[in-house]
């Protein structure tokens, strides 16, 4: 036997039993997006490498070590998208749909990061993302948080998730903060691990994100971002907090929340689900008011978030049971019945388009087909054999209810099945 080829490490198949949960979640997400007046945008999975380098930042983990980058047959450097915001902005600028207007957009699809795979961290994963353009105030940050909060409520998982918020201020205040952080960490260099020593020269804010228990004390006493905020960012953050309070959305302020992408400014947030273990960030976002101009568009304020579908599916799967069973299973006995059966199923589908009807399509005998019907979870089996064809009837056998089987005319069968519609 030939050796079977396995999927790439960190890239998952999603089998039918699991897609039921994904479809349920995706339906809820689409409905929420529609409720809030967001429109779907689709953009390519591959972009020019430079796009991500210019926006996410060359010193970030994503760009410096996690991108799937390759040279194509034309000699161009291309990259599988590691996230959606940047492609969305690129598409928005190119299509001329951002300038001088308000846009509320969403997308859903696969993203790729060459991270070390572990539970909840994959190399191909899926994000549902929302990006809004043209609104500078904190109300749109609040609207995004309300949307996500509504999602948790609909899924019944709100008690498992905590919202952390922070403000990163403007680019200018971040430079001041960064300088002071570097001075502080240089003074305490002996307490830093190797990774953080490296980051001191590249991305010192990310040191605050370190999970190393030996570094928690030095991080705790480091200068804090809120002390550096400019007046405008402070007012923006205060207004956002008031809106969240008014909506009774509970949040924690985490002054160490800096995010792993360079394009953020002002509001940032993460929704954490402790239950997920080490990879516990379920959803994250914030403002990126400079990005559109940075990528060649006219300056446009912007904000958004993205949530990881693998992580959300894990929580929802543990929370509820979703099964999909057919309504009707059609059993046919004999060659003539087999042909008629296929046509009968078509007629039933014409009359009852919402029902799930499975035809056995099997040359197996009655017993085998009946076993399949029962295993399928169908509510009823319809039986078509020589006797039924001769008398122009269909036999109905209830598979989940304790009722005697009946033989009915087509019109009577329709009436009976209408209640499953
Ligand atoms: P992010 O924090 O990099 O932000 O990713 C958002 C979410 O994607 C995470 O909270 C997590 O649930 C999921 N995620 C990220 N990496 C992985 C992985 N390797 N495996 C499984 N799930 C993962 C962004 O991507 C920003 N674009 C969010 C945003 C949109 N900000 C503004 N607009």
Q: Measured at the alpha carbon of residue 376, what is the angle toward residues 373 and 381, in degrees to the nearest 5?
A: 35
pLDDT tens per residue across span 239-298: 999 999 999 999 999 998 988 888 999 999 999 999 999 899 999 999 999 999 999 999
**pLDDT higher for 12 or 201?**
12
Indicate if ligand 1 lies below 6 Å from the C-beta of 85: yes
Quick one: pLDDT at residue 135? 97
Instruction: Give the atom of ligand 1 at the shortest distance from the alpha carbon of 260.
Output: 3
Answer yes or no: is pLDDT of 171 > 80.
yes
Pick the closest to residue 13 from 127, 108, 124 (CA basis): 124
Distance (angstroms) between ligand 1 centre and the Cα of 308 equals 6
pLDDT tens per residue across span 180-197: 999 999 999 999 999 899
Indicate if ligand 1 lies below 6 Å from the C-beta of 82: no
Mean pLDDT of 208-226: 90
Quick one: pLDDT at residue 136? 96
Quick one: pLDDT at residue 313? 98
Q: Measured at the alpha carbon of residue 375, what is the angle toward residues 369 and 379, in degrees to the nearest 5?
A: 90
Answer yes or no: is pLDDT of 413 > 80.
yes
pLDDT tens per residue across span 146-158: 999 999 999 999 9
Q: In the β-sheet with 357-359, what is the strand arrangement from edge to edge?
A: 357-359, 328-332, 380-384, 394-398, 406-408
By the 10 Å C-beta count (0-12 exposed, 13-18 middle, 19+ buried), 49 is classed as middle
Answer yes or no: is pLDDT of 418 > 90.
yes
Average pLDDT score, the chain: 95
By the 10 Å C-beta count (0-12 exposed, 13-18 middle, 19+ buried), 51 is classed as middle
Q: Report the chain's terminal Cα–Cα distance, integer Å.
A: 47
Which residues neighbour 410 within 8 Å (Cβ) at sequence distance 6 or greater? 344, 347, 392, 394
Mean pLDDT of 85-102: 96
Mean pLDDT of 222-231: 92
Q: Measured at the alpha carbon of residue 85, what is the angle toward residues 82 and 88, in degrees to the nearest 5?
A: 110
User: Atom 14 in ligand 1: which residue has the minimum CA distance?
Assistant: 308
Q: Which residues pair with 420 in a beta bridge?
A: none
Mean pLDDT of 402-415: 95
Q: How confident is the model at residue 15 (pLDDT cuts 50, 70, 90)?
A: very high
Within 10 angstroms of residue 215's Cβ, the number of other Cβ atoms is 19
Indicate if ligand 1 lies below 6 Å from the C-beta of 115: yes
Q: How confident is the model at residue 42 (pLDDT cuts 50, 70, 90)?
A: very high
Could you give the CA distance from residue 17 to residue 22 in angstroms, rounded to a whole number? 10
Distance (angstroms) between ligand 1 centre and the Cα of 42 equals 17
Indicate if ligand 1 lies below 6 Å from the C-beta of 122: yes
User: Atom 23 in ligand 1: which residue has the minimum CA distance?
Assistant: 308
Could you give the CA distance from residue 105 to residue 219 in angstroms, rounded to a whole number? 37
Indicate if ligand 1 lies below 6 Å from the C-beta of 60: no
Could you give the CA distance from residue 193 to residue 207 in angstroms, rounded to a whole number? 10
Instruction: Give the atom of ligand 1 at the shortest distance from the alpha carbon of 308.
Output: 12
Could you give the CA distance from residue 357 to residue 327 in angstroms, rounded to a whole number? 6
Instruction: Give the atom of ligand 1 at the shortest distance from the alpha carbon of 85.
Output: 27
Distance (angstroms) between ligand 1 centre and the Cα of 67 equals 14
């Amino acid at each position: 036997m030939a050796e079977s080829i396995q999927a790439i490490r960190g890239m998952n198949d999603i089998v039918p039993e699991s897609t039921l949960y994904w479809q349920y979640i995706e339906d809820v997400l689409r409905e929420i997006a529609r409720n809030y007046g967001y429109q779907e945008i689709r953009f390519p999975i591959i972009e020019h490498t430079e796009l991500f380098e210019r926006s996410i930042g060359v010193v970030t983990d994503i760009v410096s070590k996690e991108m799937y980058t390759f040279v194509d047959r034309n000699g161009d450097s291309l990259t599988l998208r590691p996230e959606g915001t940047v492609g969305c902005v690129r598409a928005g600028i190119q299509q001329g749909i951002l300038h001088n207007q308000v846009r509320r957009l969403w997308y859903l699809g696969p993203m790729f990061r060459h991270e070390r795979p572990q539970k909840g961290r994959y190399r191909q994963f899926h994000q549902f993302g929302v990006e809004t353009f043209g609104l500078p105030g904190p109300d749109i940050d609040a609207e995004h948080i309300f949307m996500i909060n509504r999602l948790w409520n609909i899924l019944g998982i709100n008690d498992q998730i905590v919202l952390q918020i922070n403000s990163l201020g403007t680019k200018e205040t971040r430079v001041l903060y960064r300088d002071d952080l570097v001075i502080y960490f240089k003074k305490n260099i002996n307490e830093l691990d190797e990774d953080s020593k490296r980051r001191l020269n590249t991305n010192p804010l990310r040191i605050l994100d370190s999970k190393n228990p030996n570094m928690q004390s030095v991080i705790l006493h480091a200068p804090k971002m809120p002390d550096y905020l400019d007046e405008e960012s402070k007012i923006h953050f205060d207004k956002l907090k008031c809106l969240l309070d008014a909506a009774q959305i509970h949040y924690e302020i985490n002054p160490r929340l800096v995010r792993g992408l360079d394009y953020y400014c002002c509001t940032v947030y993460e929704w954490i689900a402790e239950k997920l273990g080490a990879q516990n960030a379920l959803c994250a976002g914030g403002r990126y008011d400079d990005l559109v101009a940075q990528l060649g568009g006219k300056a446009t304020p912007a904000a958004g978030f993205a949530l990881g579908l693998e992580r959300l599916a894990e929580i929802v799967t543990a929370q509820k049971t979703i099964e999909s069973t057919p309504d009707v299973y059609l059993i046919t006995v004999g060659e003539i019945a087999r042909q008629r059966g296929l046509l009968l199923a078509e007629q039933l589908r014409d009359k009852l388009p919402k029902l799930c009807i499975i035809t056995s399509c099997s040359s197996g005998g009655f017993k085998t087909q009946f076993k399949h019907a029962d295993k399928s979870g169908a509510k009823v089996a319809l039986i078509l054999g020589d006797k039924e064809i001769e008398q122009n009837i269909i036999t109905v056998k209830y598979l989940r209810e304790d009722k005697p089987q009946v033989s009915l005319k087509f019109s009577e069968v329709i009436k009976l099945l209408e209640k499953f519609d």
